[in-house]
A and B are shown apart, each in its own frame.
Chain A
Amino acid sequence: MYKNKILRRVREQRLLHDATLELTYRCNLDCFYCYNDLEKAGKPLSLDQYETLLTDLAHMQTLFLMLTGGEPMIHPHFFEIGAIARKLGFVVRVRTNGHSLSPRICERLINEVDPYIVEVSLHGATAETHDRQTRVVGSFERLVKNIRTATEFGLRLEVVTTPTAWNEHQIEAMFALCDELGVPLRFQGPVAPRDNGDTSPLTIQPREETWDKVTALVTARRQAELDSGEVVNGLGDTTPEVEPEEAAMCSVGVAGVDIDPFGNVQACMHLQESAGNLHEQSIEEIWNHSSLFQRARSRAVDAALQFADTPPMQFGAPLFCIAVEENANKGCGPCGASCKD
């Protein structure tokens, strides 16, 4: 009922169901393929502004809140913001590189933020591969130790990885590592250009066959879970749809927003056009009155039409993201010049 009735209603009635807060673009790692535009500038939102924002979102009945970055936990007010979110009844997800998940931080996370899930990033099954991506020696050993700590504290973790040319030989090994750690592994991708159009991360795109391998492995593992009677998740839904919904490549523009560290409200983390700024307007005004969200939705619908007869595919990955497409074609950086021409 949730997927087929509620989420559909969310999209059709444009109810702001989830929000992503990019608290900072600063990070304690230095990932080669980081997608953030580190030169993006603006006046950061204050703690008071975050409190106003979260109060407004709760009033709008927004349920899901993602705290991300950069590395969200190095934001000076991360725990205060998380505590406000908890008090206001959001289902909080924290997306972190995991570098800071010491016992003390895990304890604070549980006691002050109480997240539903903490997503951590893994870039390989060995220190050599992982640290090559993060460009911080020792980050792999520290991450593995921190994952053990976080699970011991009772935090629900999900490990997220992006297949690259550097780690594609370790797909099975990453599964084995996560199995040993007792945490699920999720693949995302493709390797994307940076949000400012810098395409240099694309040089480590994996081979197309790697995605075939990932898809086969994920499918086989899911089937094994079903065969063993394990409940995969709590979102199982057998309610039939009454009539087909308008096809769109994703739910951009109709269910959620992304808010950058400087108060810009975007339809998506990677679509950099701003629908308005929280230094000037409330989230409710921006969500209800900006035309940007409708335009983003139209682009997602148009993109779906492109793949009406063939499966979506982008840089070898079995999906198509309009933001990746846009950023790959916007030029190499802030100058805006289309160097490819």
Chain B
Amino acid sequence: MNTETISLLPRVRHRAVGEDGVMVHLDSGRVIVVNEVGHYIVQLLDQPMSRKALAASLVAEFDVSAEQAEADLDLFLGELGNEQLVEHSG
């Protein structure tokens, strides 16, 4: 069974600014803007969560199929990974 969880790195801060979200990586100083759905995911990542639980939350919150949620989630988590904003454990 895959028990891997994903969470924001401790030195990442974020807030909602209107309908978007702003993330700041304290190590690099980089500021990243994410859309409403992205910021919803980022807020969930304040606590470690499995990919499956994240996808289920997206399906519950937004009008989207499970397949679409998982595809979009993979893309977004890949971008967060490229920016070194998240860590995987388990």
Residues of chain A having any CB pair with chain B under 8 Å: 1-2, 5-6, 9-10, 13, 15, 17, 61-63, 89-91, 114, 116, 156, 233-235
Contact = CB atoms under 8 A, between A and B. Distances in A.
Interface stretch (B21-29, B57-65, B72-80): B21-29
Given A63-B24, A89-B13, 8 more contacts: A2-B33, A6-B20, A13-B18, A15-B18, A63-B22, A89-B15, A234-B29, A235-B31
A15 to B, nearest CB: 6
Nearest to B10: A114
Given A61-B17, A63-B13, A234 B26 contact: no
Interface centre among B14, B17, B20 (most CB of A within 10 A): B17
B24 A116 contact: yes
Contacts of B18: 9, 13, 15
B28 to A, nearest CB: 6
A6 B22 contact: yes
B56 to A, nearest CB: 25
Which label, helix, strand, loop or mixed, suits the secondary structure of the A interface?
loop
Task: Provide the main secondary structure of the chain B interface.
Answer: strand
19 contacts: A1-B33, A2-B31, A2-B33, A9-B17, A10-B17, A15-B17, A61-B15, A61-B17, A62-B15, A63-B17, A89-B14, A114-B10, A114-B26, A116-B26, A116-B29, A156-B29, A234-B28, A234-B29, A235-B29
B17 A234 contact: no
Contact of A61 (B16, B28, B29): B16
A6 B17 contact: yes
B24 A91 contact: yes
Contacts of B14: 89
Contact of A2 (B11, B16, B22): B22
Contacts of B13: 63, 89-91
Nearest to A2: B31
Contacts of A63: 13, 15, 17, 22, 24
Nearest to A116: B26
Contacts of A2: 22, 31, 33
A116 B26 CA distance: 5
Nearest to B25: A234
B30 A234 contact: yes
Interface of B: 10-11, 13-18, 20, 22, 24-26, 28-31, 33
A233 B29 contact: yes
A156 B27 CA distance: 9
A323 to B, nearest CB: 26
Contacts of A1: 33
Of the candidates A6, A9, A114, the one having the most CB atoms from chain B within 10 angstroms of its own CB is A6
Please list the 10 inter-chain residue pairs (A to B) with the smallest Cβ-Cβ separation, ordered nearest first: A234-B30, A234-B29, A63-B15, A61-B15, A1-B33, A2-B31, A116-B26, A91-B13, A61-B16, A91-B24
Contacts of B11: 114
Contacts of B25: 234
A17 to B, nearest CB: 7
A156 B28 CA distance: 10
Nearest to B14: A89
A36 B29 CA distance: 30
A9 B16 CA distance: 12
Contact of B17 (A17, A89, A116, A233): A17
A63 B24 CA distance: 9
For A17, A233, A234, which residue has the most chain B Cβ atoms within 10 angstroms? Answer: A234
A233 B31 CA distance: 10
Contacts of A89: 13-15
B40 to A, nearest CB: 14
Nearest to B33: A1
A192 B14 CA distance: 34
